[in-house]
Structure 1
Amino acid sequence: MLQRKMTRRLTRWKDDPNHKSLIIKGARQVGKTFIVEDFAQHNYARFVRVNFEENPEFAAIFQGTRNAADIYSQLSLYLPGARFDKGTLLFLDEIQSCPDAITALKFLSIDGRCDVIASGSLLGISYKEVSSFPVGYVDHAEMYSLDFEEFLWANGFGESQIEYVKGFCERHEQVPQAVHQRMLDLFRKYIVVGGMPEVVASFVADADFSRVLQLQRDILAEYQNDIAKYAPSAEKAKARACFLSIPKQLARDYKKFTYSLVEPRGSARKYGGSLQWLYDAGIVNFCYKLDAPELPFEGNADNAKFKVYMRDTGLLVAMLEDGSQKDIIEGNLGIYKGAVYENIVADIFAKNGKALYYYEKNNSLEMDFFIRREGAATAVEVKSSQNRKAKSMDSLIANHGVRRGIKLAPGNYGTAGSKVEVMPIYMAMFL
């Protein structure tokens, strides 16, 4: 069974004596249902699951009621023998299909007779349909596909081994070459496999990349089915067009999302809502342009200019032509190589809770990312080759007041000038 960090998050939630109902948000197939069921098995005497997609009739229980006792009484009629007390975890799955149940979480939290977890794949979208969101009465967690550390766990790495590698990052030392090559090999495999639990489990079982690709493309087909099923009628074709344009967007030297690549003379007015739908569905991440490369990032961000990344890089690779997996493993992917490496770093940063920002000036200077590190605005450049030159970084430090930079590349640890560290790209997970 795959080890997930969400288990620890659930344990902290349960151990908090003041915990409320918990909402777990995340895209389809990132493992939300499995992790809740497994957690219930190890921590509760009883587990009651209500899936609003599989059993839409349960939605009637939550319509028009603001009384937890009534909800539990009606659930007992639908589920003979179910008990609702401190030994029970009630799991409201696919809750986006029942907005009234989201509202009812307030009253279930106040009642407190049993623990309640709600989960959904399209919660960012269904929130707009909730008449009264239970602000202050729910706890929140967001779940993603496996991050690189979880991928390492799945491939037999223990936490002590990861801490060993992290030590070289903290001490600013080169990683022993054998360890470096092993980490780089696994990182490239992670780029190709991604973090979708079913895909990772399949890869760990038999290392069959053709099966990996089949599973990934099945997930991509489900994403397109979700667009067709759930996107507003006026947005369906546009959301699909935006989704399919992502590889082409990232293949360019300057990767700011350009609506004309979706459609000639396309505009934010026409496609902005479609892109937001993809974000709300948990399919993409936005990386916003900074007007100035300095803190605070949020105050310096231009929300009208952004790059779009896939939230799972394995799915991005699956959108490319056949043979791309092999090219990545061998370190040769032409115009897409930089895009794929940039996407994986964006994915890692987002899974570590970082908002994504980049900097661009006059289409002549671009820095892939900016992060807050040790209290300073830190430029991060991503390279798919071992070239240690850092021309853009040097310009930022010399002319724009940036105090430090990190260059992530396949090579080992080193420096590129007095203020630029060169780190193995897999060390992005420690930043």
Structure 2
Amino acid sequence: MFFKRKIYDKLLEWKNETKGTKAILIEGARRIGKSTIAQAFAKNEYESYLLIDFAKKDKEVESYFEKYLNDLDTLFMMLQVHYGIRLKPRQSVVIFDEVQMFPQARAAIKYLVADGRYDYIETGSLISIKENVKDIVIPSEERHISMYPFDFEEFCWALGEEVMIDYIKHCFESKQALEESLHRKAMMIFKQYMLVGGMPMPVVKFVENNKSFYEADQEKRDILRLYREDIMKINARYRGKVLAIFDQIPGLLSQHEKRVVFKTIQGESRAEEYQETFFWLADSMICNECFLCSDPNVGLSINEVRSYVKCYMGDTGLLVSHAFDENELLEEEVYKQILLDKLSMNKGMLYENVIAQMLVINHHKLYFYTHYNDEKHRNDMEIDFLLSSNRKLKYKLYPIEVKSGKRYTTTSLLRFKEKYQDRIGACFIIHPKNLMIKDDIFCIPPYMTFLL
């Protein structure tokens, strides 16, 4: 089963713009659907395609690249004969699947693109790509594109809810609340998205099995096991720290502040000892980092404090499965209890994680803000997320507070708004209630986050 993905249009844009002058490398976490989208695109947009899966470690195919890179006529002839595929100049594409398993093929892109006969799509898990480039020259004839889990809109497409998405977009643009029964329906779909997540196979199982959470949970646990196996293969120097952070993500997010307190992880640890750890987790796209911004302004990264970090799971559906015993599949009834808010579970953890996920998919880098009051000996301002200017948000600051319950206070946001009023474009509260504007704050339901 193949679902519509937004990355398809970006691949089409690459094909039409570059016309063979650049290859494209699809980067992303394991099991994100890179191979599936590459093959679907090749099948639909070219007369023929040749798929080379380097994970299969076909020594004969690898030898072709070693022997014939200076004789491309022979290289292409051998590849076509080996795979039984006829390639047509400027009408065919060659896919290098799991290219990190054979870095020499990636290095060859420079010469293959210069030859100009065919287009080239590469796929690979991000961290593995970066760990396997020590002995090759990175080709400049390569464009990169990141692939993420399904966003909420893509999830709705998979469920056949295109009309609902159009209605949500209309209400957001016109700043109108949804009709109440449709708001409740949209919230139910959002909760399904939060519990299933956006990894392709869990979504497929959810749709194919009449919205069975149990079938989706099995797939999610397979992915979590795969991630743990990946962690066990990395450099022993920081393997233990990566595993410690990965295992503690649900616990860290269940705390009030949600940020990582390093000394509680392992003895008297310090933030700088975990730099490689967070680099690996973020670059593998297993997790999304969120750093403190000490002086909120348009250039958030200028005042980034890396010793204060929150670590969100890249996919909230995986977080749900990760939060429970790894060896215990969650029963259908447990998921339904969570869905109906009848199970005692930290909803704030899930809500904040899924909002982080939706913002990252929308190409926002994550920052938060906190202010410690010396007189009161506590934080008197805590802002969950800060967005800065991008193509949609013009040269202003956009603070976001995430509320999982219908009753909440806005003290921190109002104080922040008063302190930095000249820098702020708009303030947002993301809450389970319908859209409303209160105290000049734009309060939106979580299913509208993909529009920010």
TM-score by length of 1: 0.92
Separation in 1 of the partners of 2:109 and 2:413? 49
Alignment match of 2:26 (pick from 14, 24, 27):
24
In structure 2, the residue matched to 1:427 is: 448
C-alpha separation between the residues in 2 aligned to 1:13 and 1:317? 36
Residue 240 to residue 169, structure 1, CA distance change in 2 (3 Å):
same
How far apart, CA to CA, are the structure 1 residues paired with 2:251 and 2:139? 40
Q: Bigger CA drift: 296-305 or 217-226?
A: 296-305
Q: Return the offset for 1:72.
A: 3.1
User: Which deviates further from its counterpart, 122-131 or 256-265?
Assistant: 122-131
Identity among equivalent pairs (%): 30
CA distance in 2, matches of 1:161, 1:358: 31
Asked if the contact 1:227/1:240 (under 8 Å) is kept, the reply is yes
2:236 counterpart SS class: coil
Instruction: State the Cα deviation string for residues 173-199 of structure 1 (Å, max 9, x = none).
Output: 111101101100000000000011111
Aligned to 1:113: 117
Q: Counterparts of 1:356 and 1:337 in 2: how far apart (Å)?
A: 20
Task: Extract unaligned runs of 5+ from structure 2.
Answer: 325-329, 373-377
* 1:349 and 2:359 are equivalent in the alignment: yes
**Deviation, structure 1 residue 399:** 2.4
Secondary structure class of the residue paired with 2:397:
strand
Matched-pair contact (CA < 8 Å) for 2:298–2:395? no
* Structure 2 residue 184 is the aligned partner of structure 1 residue 181: yes
| Whole-Å separation in 2 of the counterparts to 1:318 and 1:239 | 19
Q: Contact between 1:125 and 1:277, CA under 8 Å: does it hold in 2?
A: no
Aligned mate of 1:379, from 399, 406, 410: 399
Give the letter for the 2:340 counterpart: E
Corresponding residue for residue 174 of structure 2: 171
DSSP 3-state at the match of 2:369: strand
Q: Which moved more, 1:319-328 or 1:96-105?
A: 319-328
Provide the C-alpha distance between the structure 2 equivalents of 1:18 and 1:83, rounded to a whole number of angstroms. Answer: 16
SS state at 1:359 partner: strand
Higher mean C-alpha displacement, 56-65 vs 8-17: 56-65
Aligned pairs for 1:206-355 (under 5 A) are 206=209, 207-229=211-233, 231-321=234-324, 322=330, 325-331=335-341, 334=344, 336-355=346-365
- For 2:432, the aligned partner's letter is P
Q: What secondary structure, in the 3-state scheme, does the structure 2 residue paired with 1:129 have?
A: coil
Which position in structure 1 is the counterpart of 2:199?
A: 196
Amino acid at match of 2:145: A
How far, CA to CA, are the matches of 1:27 and 1:209 in structure 2?
Answer: 22
The AA in structure 1 aligned to 2:371 is: K
| Among candidates 33, 54, 75, match of residue 56 of structure 2 | 54
- Please list the CA deviations of residues 104-125 of structure 1 after superposition, one character each: whole Å capped at 9, or x if unmatched: 2122221111011000123453
- What residue is the counterpart of 1:141 in the other structure? 145
TM-superposed CA distance for 1:25, in Å, is 0.3
What 5-or-longer segments of structure 1 have no aligned partner? none
What does residue 125 of structure 1 align with? 130
Q: 2:106 aligns with which of 89, 102, 105?
A: 102
Q: CA deviation at 1:65?
A: 7.5
Q: Secondary structure at the match of 2:160?
A: coil
CA contact (8 A) 2:431 2:444 kept: yes
Q: 2:435 aligns to what? A: 413
Change (3 A) 1:241 1:167: same
Q: Deviations over 1:231-274 (max 9, x none)?
A: 11323333222211111111111122222343232333443212
* Change over 3 Å in CA distance of 1:232–1:60 after alignment to 2: farther
Q: 1:73 to 1:233 in 2, by over 3 A?
A: farther
> 1:72-100 CA distances to partner (integer Å, 9 max, x unpaired)?
35534644554362222100000111222
Over the residues paired in the alignment, what is the CA RMSD in angstroms?
2.2
Asked if 1 retains the 8 angstrom alpha-carbon contact of 2:164 and 2:186, the reply is no
**Alignment-derived partner of residue 370 in structure 2:** 360
Q: Aligned partner of 1:409: which letter?
A: H
Contact in 2 for aligned 1:124/1:280 (Cα 8 Å): no
Range 398-407 or range 290-299, more displaced: 398-407
Q: Is the 8 A contact 1:327 1:333 kept in 2?
A: yes
Moved more, 31-40 or 61-70: 61-70
Query: C-alpha separation between the residues in 2 aligned to 1:266 and 1:303?
Result: 15
Conserved? CA contact 1:21–1:108, under 8 Å:
no
Q: Which residue of 2 aligns with 1:370?
A: 386
The residue type equivalent to 1:250 in the other structure is: L
**Corresponding residue pairs, total:** 427
Of the three residues 386, 397, 400, the one matched with 2:417 is: 397
Name the amino acid aligned to 1:211.
Answer: E
Aligned to 1:92, the other structure's residue is in SS state strand
Deviation at 1:155, TM superposition (A): 0.7
